[in-house]
A and B are shown apart, each in its own frame.
Chain A
Amino acid sequence: MKLELRAITKRFGSFTANDAVDLVVEPGEIHGLLGENGAGKTTLMNVLYGLYQPDEGEILIDDVPVTFKGPGHAMSAGIGMVHQHFMLIPVFTVTENVMLGHEQTTPGGFLNRRRAGREVAAISKRYGLEVPPDALVADLPVGVQQRVEILKALSRDARLLVLDEPTAVLTPQETDELITVMRALRDGGTSIVFISHKLREVREVADKITVLRRGAVVGTAEPGASQSELASMMVGRPVQLTVDKEPAQPADVVLQVDGVSVVDPNGVVLVDNVSFAVRGGEIYALAGVQGNGQTELTEALVGLTTPTRGTIAITGRNIGKLSTDEILDIGVGYVPEDRLHDGLVGQFSVAENLVLDHFDRPPYGSRGSLNLRAIADNAAVRVQEFDVRPANGLAGASTLSGGNQQKVVLAREMSRPLKLLIVAQPTRGLDVGSMEFVHRRIVAERDRGTAIVLISTELDEVLGLADRIAVMYRGRIQGEVPVGTPAAQIGMLMAGSTSAEAAAGTTSLSKGAVAAPGAAGVL
């Protein structure tokens, strides 16, 4: 089906999220929609899907103007959407999720689960989307959950599929599988809008690319365009995509983790017998797909969780009995993965957030009172140093953009002399420009001799920053590899292959699941 958006404008108050956006998607085309976070990609697609009403402009399907009052309308017009945050009900089975909203019933009025299950099986076979129809969605890995989302759309006869940042949560292997599926769908005549900020993927799969910046189309490109060309279109200025760094100069061991396990109250093993050591002046990366124990391990390192077993020593001191405050006092910096939830107090000003962990000691506070002047002076210096915008210490932290919030967190954590810095997902949701800055600061901290633990699900980030790489899978360290290991091999570790299997390039996963060729360089 042919989709045309003409001069779509969507405003939220005084903020223009989409500014006269034109977009044409031809039948059987994969159209890449590229843009930074906040460029208006998702808003545009929500307008298309009937979740928002456009303030101006029109939508044409096969050259006929249409208006969608809600997702139901858009769906019946043949538009299917796979949201960035899955719209699946975790406690329902795959079949129930697929049938929801267009359930078929037996003459007695009961749900016809058997028939729905058969339909799920039929569609999944037709498009090579393998799913277990009777499994609970909550028990499935994200890659399979995503297939369920695609199935949901296909079961409603979608002829145009919108995939909103579909690869953000996938392993490299799952991404390969998704790309295979997308191509199969395209060849079957389905049009696809592929939203992403990952240049490599868009170039690999799209037939045509439209770039959005600040709500407006800045241009279209062919997939042949170079990455730096696309990146500068996205950001509006030339950007450096790789991190410059000298080889690491490892010093003494700062962090020693021995046989640490974390088990939740229900007996589920979240971190399973993990051991590693990190030296001063090196970046140790823990790669892995989200939810494989990285979060819990990080929390154990800073004393937010007590390990069920094992010991953690920082600069030779066992931290088992120490409070988080005491651990930070040793010289530990912590950049949590969810900056708005754990890293900042949104209602507090930037200046207050900059002293959150040391407001109670001189010069910021003593004898129960705060030295507001010292806090303000500190803010002025840090805001300058870390290029926080707006450069105003009194601004509320929650009013800042994601990139600037992250700079505030980094500025706070790096304002003390550190021995160990733990950074979790430091560039999640950041635009290319901020990403560059954050990476440079992390490398600079390393060069000052600090031991750095980097937890990241972004393989590009891990490959660009790390001096040593460990891959976590189901709470274990699946393997430790040196820098320069091919991405495909790390990807296989992330999917659960053992080091030996990954090195040999064979995988047990290719059986049963959709074939996952270990193609190098595909991310």
Chain B
Amino acid sequence: MTQRPPEDELVVTHEVVEIAVSTRRRTIAGIAIIVTGLICLLAWGLGSKAGDAAFALSDIADKHQIPFVRIPGKAAGVVLGLLIVLLGCWHLARGFSARSMRWVLSAVLLCFVIAFLCWAGTGDPTLQLSIFGLLQGTIFLAVPLILGALAGILCERSGVINVAIEGQLLAGAFAGALAATVAHNAGVGILAAMLAGAVIGALLGVFAIRYAVNQVVLGVVLNLLVLGLTNFGYDALMQKNTEGFNNPTVLAPIKVPLLGDIPLVGPLLFDANIIVYCVYVLIVVVDVALFRTRWGLRTRAVGEHPKAADTVGIKVSRTRYLNVILGGLVAGLGGAYLTIGAVGSFSGNISSGKGFIALAAVIFGRWSPRGAVGAALLFGFADALQTLLSASHTPVTVPSAFLSMLPYLATLFAVAGLVGRVQAPAADGEPYLKG
């Protein structure tokens, strides 16, 4: 210890004993992976009927048709299952590092899903599973989740827990549909939706920041309030006069020149409506702003240690209000997507729990915009898969109620099992009271 470099003396390094301690965890994880692999091998592989599964990679209406991809179901299940088992054995024997574990788990999940799709697609020669449809559905379903999650991140990074994302989405959806119909202009609808989200955000802010109300309870109450209000508005206005109040102009897709012509990617990502392009921009803006600007540094400081921020002259409450309202604007946009960006009309409780899944995405993504987007895409995929399965004739019919549980199950497992040690902003949910 006499010959240590000088930096070493300034930094406390706790020794991490990988082998001794994590053995039990590693064993459990390894066995879980092997079991997953065996299920894959036995059920999707050996349980598969003879024949190939056909996958469509382009939309039927597309100019550039990509030929069907055919994969023998049995072989795919066996090979992918063995691959998962191998990964599990390796983890048992040698152990992956915490960093690579994330990739390993993603690979396991991917193999499992592909094998499952192959199993579901074999047996009926006339059946083609549309991978394009699956991916398109993923993005379609992930957009409101991403916006909701970004709203959550904006709030929670400044130290206010936002359980009211659901309410903000719903308020945005309602206001968007109403305003776009009345003004005959989708742009006005978008603005109204964002405003509605911001109003809920402002309410959250006043009660959470000024009156220091328990933020989880507050969020739940706000959700119920919005649900009641929109249901009332829907019954009193929209049901009675659909033409006058619930017939918004739907946003038209805009195709980006050149990028939109790339096979598979083009129709998926660059032939969408304005809100989707807003999402692309927002993801980058929030990520960069949070970690590279003055606003971001101050926001995170307020969320971690408000008193420290106060002592260097940062206005804690003002920062929090700003962020909560910004979050409301973003979530409101997500609400607009539900009505004027997609189905073209409002119906009661149209958000149907998406706000809560967005909240799960915030946690699963560890309060970082990138992570949350990944989580939102995963949940969106689970939802799209469920839609695909309930629409196609799989070898074994699963009741649709179970299938529609899939996204929520995925959420539950993701949040409970895969997140590990969660590092929320240290002052998340704690009101800052001076003196």
Q: Say whether A202 faces chain B, with CB atoms less than 8 Å apart.
A: no
Judging by beta carbons under 8 Å apart, are B9 and A509 in contact?
Answer: yes
Judging by beta carbons under 8 Å apart, are B313 and A70 in contact?
Answer: yes
Minimum Cβ distance to chain A for residue B433 (Å):
13
Query: CB-defined interface of B1-38 with A at 8 Å, one 1/0 digit per residue?
Result: 11010110111111111101110000000000000000
Query: CB-defined interface of A99-130 with B at 8 Å, one 1/0 digit per residue?
Result: 11111010001110000000000000000001
Alpha-carbon distance between A31 and B16 when the two chains are bound, in angstroms: 44
Query: CB-defined interface of B283-324 with A at 8 Å, one 1/0 digit per residue?
Result: 000001000111001101100110111111110000000000
Alpha-carbon distance between A110 and B288 when the two chains are bound, in angstroms: 9
Minimum Cβ distance to chain B for residue A195 (Å):
16
Q: Please pick, from B9, B21, B301, B305, the residue contacting A513 in the complex, using a CB distance under 8 A.
A: B9
Q: Say whether B435 faces chain A, with CB atoms less than 8 Å apart.
A: yes
Which residue of the partner chain B has the closest CB to A52?
B435
Q: Please give, as numbers and ranges, the residues of chain B lying within 8 Å of A308 by CB-CB distance.
A: 20-21
- The residues in A between 227 and 283 inclusive whose CB is less than 8 angstroms from any CB of B are 263, 265-269, 272
Which residue of the partner chain B has the closest CB to A506?
B2
Q: Please give, as numbers and ranges, the residues of chain A lying within 8 Å of B294 by CB-CB distance.
A: 103, 105, 109, 111
Minimum Cβ distance to chain B for residue A472 (Å):
14
Which residue of the partner chain B has the closest CB to A110?
B292
Which residue of the partner chain B has the closest CB to A156?
B312
Query: CB-defined interface of B415-426 with A at 8 Å, one 1/0 digit per residue?
Result: 000000101001
Q: Please give, as numbers and ranges, the residues of chain A lying within 8 Å of B311 by CB-CB distance.
A: 49, 51, 71, 81, 83, 87
Alpha-carbon distance between A81 and B2 when the two chains are bound, in angstroms: 36
Alpha-carbon distance between A139 and B13 when the two chains are bound, in angstroms: 7
Judging by beta carbons under 8 Å apart, are B17 and A266 in contact?
Answer: no
Alpha-carbon distance between A52 and B301 when the two chains are bound, in angstroms: 22
Judging by beta carbons under 8 Å apart, are A72 and B313 in contact?
Answer: yes
Judging by beta carbons under 8 Å apart, are A90 and B304 in contact?
Answer: yes
Which residue of the partner chain A has the closest CB to B288?
A110
Q: Please give, as numbers and ranges, the residues of chain A lying within 8 Å of B312 by CB-CB distance.
A: 71-72, 75, 87, 100-102, 152
Judging by beta carbons under 8 Å apart, are B304 and A89 in contact?
Answer: yes
Query: CB-defined interface of A69-93 with B at 8 Å, one 1/0 digit per residue?
Result: 0111001000001010011111110
Minimum Cβ distance to chain B for residue A419 (Å):
33
Minimum Cβ distance to chain A for residue B353 (Å):
32
Q: Please give, as numbers and ranges, the residues of chain A lying within 8 Å of B297 by CB-CB distance.
A: 92, 96, 99-100, 103, 111
- The residues in A between 20 and 71 inclusive whose CB is less than 8 angstroms from any CB of B are 49, 51-52, 70-71
Q: Please give, as numbers and ranges, the residues of chain A lying within 8 Å of B292 by CB-CB distance.
A: 110-111
Q: Please pick, from B10, B20, B421, B435, the residue contacting A132 in the complex, using a CB distance under 8 A.
A: B10
Q: Please give, as numbers and ranges, the residues of chain B lying within 8 Å of A89 by CB-CB distance.
A: 300-301, 304-305, 308-309
Q: Contacts A83-B311, A131-B10, A139-B12: A105 and B18 contacting too (C-beta < 8 A)?
A: no
Minimum Cβ distance to chain B for residue A115 (Å):
13
Judging by beta carbons under 8 Å apart, are B12 and A92 in contact?
Answer: no
Minimum Cβ distance to chain A for residue B259 (Å):
26
Q: Say whether A144 faces chain B, with CB atoms less than 8 Å apart.
A: yes
Q: Contacts A100-B297, A100-B298, A512-B6: A267 and B21 contacting too (C-beta < 8 A)?
A: yes
Judging by beta carbons under 8 Å apart, are A135 and B10 in contact?
Answer: yes
Query: CB-defined interface of B153-182 with A at 8 Å, one 1/0 digit per residue?
Result: 000000000000000000000000000000
Judging by beta carbons under 8 Å apart, are A90 and B426 in contact?
Answer: yes
Judging by beta carbons under 8 Å apart, are A267 and B304 in contact?
Answer: no
- The residues in B between 390 and 435 inclusive whose CB is less than 8 angstroms from any CB of A are 421, 423, 426, 434-435
Q: Which of B12, B292, B310, B421 has the most CB of A within 10 A?
A: B12
Alpha-carbon distance between A472 and B7 when the two chains are bound, in angstroms: 22
Alpha-carbon distance between A56 and B172 when the two chains are bound, in angstroms: 51
Judging by beta carbons under 8 Å apart, are A263 and B313 in contact?
Answer: no
Q: Say whether A496 faces chain B, with CB atoms less than 8 Å apart.
A: yes
Q: Please give, as numbers and ranges, the residues of chain A lying within 8 Å of B308 by CB-CB distance.
A: 86-89, 100
Judging by beta carbons under 8 Å apart, are B11 and A135 in contact?
Answer: yes
Judging by beta carbons under 8 Å apart, are B20 and A75 in contact?
Answer: no
Q: Contacts A96-B297, A111-B297: A141 and B12 contacting too (C-beta < 8 A)?
A: yes
Judging by beta carbons under 8 Å apart, are A508 and B2 in contact?
Answer: yes
Q: Say whether A392 faces chain B, with CB atoms less than 8 Å apart.
A: no
Query: CB-defined interface of A492-506 with B at 8 Å, one 1/0 digit per residue?
Result: 000010100100000
Q: Say whether A373 faces chain B, with CB atoms less than 8 Å apart.
A: no
Q: Say whether A511 faces chain B, with CB atoms less than 8 Å apart.
A: yes
Q: Contacts A110-B292, A267-B22: A498 and B309 contacting too (C-beta < 8 A)?
A: no
Alpha-carbon distance between A26 and B245 when the two chains are bound, in angstroms: 74
Judging by beta carbons under 8 Å apart, are A100 and B21 in contact?
Answer: no
Minimum Cβ distance to chain B for residue A317 (Å):
27
Q: Say whether A140 faces chain B, with CB atoms less than 8 Å apart.
A: yes
Alpha-carbon distance between A101 and B310 when the two chains are bound, in angstroms: 9
Judging by beta carbons under 8 Å apart, are B1 and A496 in contact?
Answer: yes
Q: Please give, as numbers and ranges, the residues of chain A lying within 8 Å of B293 by CB-CB distance.
A: 105, 109-111
Q: Please give, as numbers and ranges, the residues of chain A lying within 8 Å of B305 by CB-CB distance.
A: 87-90
Q: Please give, as numbers and ranges, the residues of chain A lying within 8 Å of B314 by CB-CB distance.
A: 100-101
Judging by beta carbons under 8 Å apart, are A263 and B11 in contact?
Answer: no
Alpha-carbon distance between A140 and B304 when the two chains are bound, in angstroms: 17
Q: Please give, as numbers and ranges, the residues of chain A lying within 8 Å of B300 by CB-CB distance.
A: 89, 91-92
Q: Contacts A70-B313, A75-B312, A101-B309: A140 and B10 contacting too (C-beta < 8 A)?
A: yes
Minimum Cβ distance to chain B for residue A74 (Å):
9
Alpha-carbon distance between A378 and B403 when the two chains are bound, in angstroms: 64
Q: Please give, as numbers and ranges, the residues of chain A lying within 8 Å of B1 by CB-CB distance.
A: 496, 498, 508
Minimum Cβ distance to chain B for residue A518 (Å):
16
Which residue of the partner chain B has the closest CB to A507?
B2
Which residue of the partner chain B has the closest CB to A264?
B21
Q: Please pick, from B12, B21, B426, the residue contacting A263 in the complex, using a CB distance under 8 A.
A: B21
Minimum Cβ distance to chain B for residue A236 (Å):
29
Judging by beta carbons under 8 Å apart, are B16 and A267 in contact?
Answer: yes
Minimum Cβ distance to chain B for residue A292 (Å):
10
Minimum Cβ distance to chain B for residue A310 (Å):
13
Which residue of the partner chain B has the closest CB to A513?
B9
Alpha-carbon distance between A71 and B316 when the two chains are bound, in angstroms: 12
Judging by beta carbons under 8 Å apart, are A267 and B9 in contact?
Answer: no
Query: CB-defined interface of B241-281 with A at 8 Å, one 1/0 digit per residue?
Result: 00000000000000000000000000000000000000000
Alpha-carbon distance between A71 and B313 when the two chains are bound, in angstroms: 6
Q: Which of B22, B292, B308 has the most CB of A within 10 A?
A: B308
Minimum Cβ distance to chain A for residue B343 (Å):
38
Q: Please give, as numbers and ranges, the residues of chain A lying within 8 Å of B301 by CB-CB distance.
A: 89, 92, 100
Judging by beta carbons under 8 Å apart, are A75 and B10 in contact?
Answer: no
Judging by beta carbons under 8 Å apart, are A132 and B18 in contact?
Answer: no
Judging by beta carbons under 8 Å apart, are A101 and B304 in contact?
Answer: no
Minimum Cβ distance to chain A for residue B424 (Å):
11
Alpha-carbon distance between A109 and B292 when the two chains are bound, in angstroms: 9
Minimum Cβ distance to chain B for residue A162 (Å):
11
Alpha-carbon distance between A91 and B428 when the two chains are bound, in angstroms: 14
Interface positions of A (Cβ within 8 A of B)? 49, 51-52, 70-72, 75, 81, 83, 86-92, 96, 99-103, 105, 109-111, 130-132, 135, 139-141, 144, 152, 263, 265-269, 272, 308, 474, 496, 498, 501, 508-509, 511-513
In the complex, 6 of the A-B residue pairs with CB atoms within 8 angstroms, ordered by the A residue number, are A90-B305, A105-B294, A267-B22, A269-B16, A269-B17, A508-B4
Interface positions of B (Cβ within 8 A of A)? 1-2, 4, 6-7, 9-18, 20-22, 288, 292-294, 297-298, 300-301, 304-305, 307-314, 421, 423, 426, 434-435
The 7 closest A-B pairs by CB, nearest first: A72-B313, A101-B312, A512-B6, A87-B308, A268-B14, A103-B294, A267-B21
- Told that A263-B20, A267-B22 touch, could you supply 9 new A-B pairs with CB distance under 8 A? A72-B312, A75-B312, A87-B305, A89-B301, A92-B301, A92-B304, A132-B7, A135-B10, A267-B18
